Amino acid sequence: MRVIFNESLKAVADDLDHMARNVRDAIHGAGQALLNADLDAAQTVIDNDAETDALSTSIVDQCVELLARQNPVATDLRVVVSTMRLAITFERMGDLARHIAESARRTYPDSPLPQEIVDTFAQMQQFLDVTADRLVTMLADRDTKVADQIIHDDDVLDDLHKKTLEFAQSEDFPGTNPQLINVVLIGRFMERLGDHAVSAARRVVFIVSGFDPSKEPDRDEGTDID
């Protein structure tokens, strides 16, 4: 039984790593689409999201199967339940990256954003690119140090997000209303990508250390319009 369990768990962990790499690629691609008006990149992100969704469904199914057949307890159970939740979080991250890519496709060949705020979004994207790479490393190596970095650094993204909202609220906002809507929604999608990365990082800390991340305060604290 133990051998079967470990083999099954290895298979589902491989799928989860695959999902994390997909999400990383989607985040990188969404940034290319957003900042470089790269239509191919946008389309690739949009097309590939279906595979990420399918992986999520498959991972949850495999976990349910493992629970039924192997009755894992203690650490093994923690890993299986956390794997399910990580898959659901990654699926959502894929959706958010797709939304950003869709925004870029919609306004192509123009940028969805007014020029004056592109630099702030480029900083947010740079942050998310690093976070996306960290997600993959964290998961492949079960590395809680990398997870801690993700959790610790998230304030940087929140501050940048606040800057974009202040810009959007200014009376002399230089763009059109559709651009203003893009600033607000794309900013929110990026902030939520950061929140989900933190939630994933907490879950990896939980898997490795047994410290329960769900007892931590909620990350979505409604800084949306602050």
**Contact positions vs its own copies (CB under 8 A):** 53, 56-57, 60, 64, 67-68, 71, 73-74, 77-78, 81, 84-85, 88, 95, 98-99, 102-103, 106, 165, 168-171, 173, 176-178, 180-182, 184-185, 188, 214-215, 218, 220, 222, 224-225
In whole angstroms, what is the distance from residue 131 CA to residue 144 CA?
14
In whole angstroms, what is the distance from residue 94 CA to residue 41 CA?
14
Distance of closest approach, residue 218 Cβ to its own copies, in angstroms: 6
> HSE (CB half, 13 Å, CA atoms) of 178?
7
Whether the CB-CB separation of 21 and 136 falls below 8 Å is answered with yes
Q: Which is nearer to its own copies, 115 or 178 (CB)?
A: 178
Two tokens at 24? Answer: 């990383």
Distance of closest approach, residue 117 Cβ to its own copies, in angstroms: 13
Distance of closest approach, residue 210 Cβ to its own copies, in angstroms: 12
Nearest to 83 by CA among 59, 52, 51, 54: 59
Nearest to 168 by CA among 146, 186, 148, 150: 186
In whole angstroms, what is the distance from residue 80 CA to residue 118 CA?
41
Helices (H), the chain: 2-36, 39-70, 74-107, 115-141, 144-169, 177-209
Q: Which is nearer to its own copies, 24 or 192 (CB)?
A: 192
Q: Which is nearer to its own copies, 118 or 180 (CB)?
A: 180
Q: Which is nearer to its own copies, 39 or 77 (CB)?
A: 77
What does the buried/exposed string (b/e) look like for 132-160 if buried means 16 or more CB atoms within 10 Å of the residue's CB?
bebbbebbeeeebebbebbbebbeebbeb
Distance of closest approach, residue 226 Cβ to its own copies, in angstroms: 8
Distance of closest approach, residue 86 Cβ to its own copies, in angstroms: 12
Q: Which is nearer to its own copies, 148 or 224 (CB)?
A: 224
Q: Which is nearer to its own copies, 115 or 170 (CB)?
A: 170
Distance of closest approach, residue 222 Cβ to its own copies, in angstroms: 5
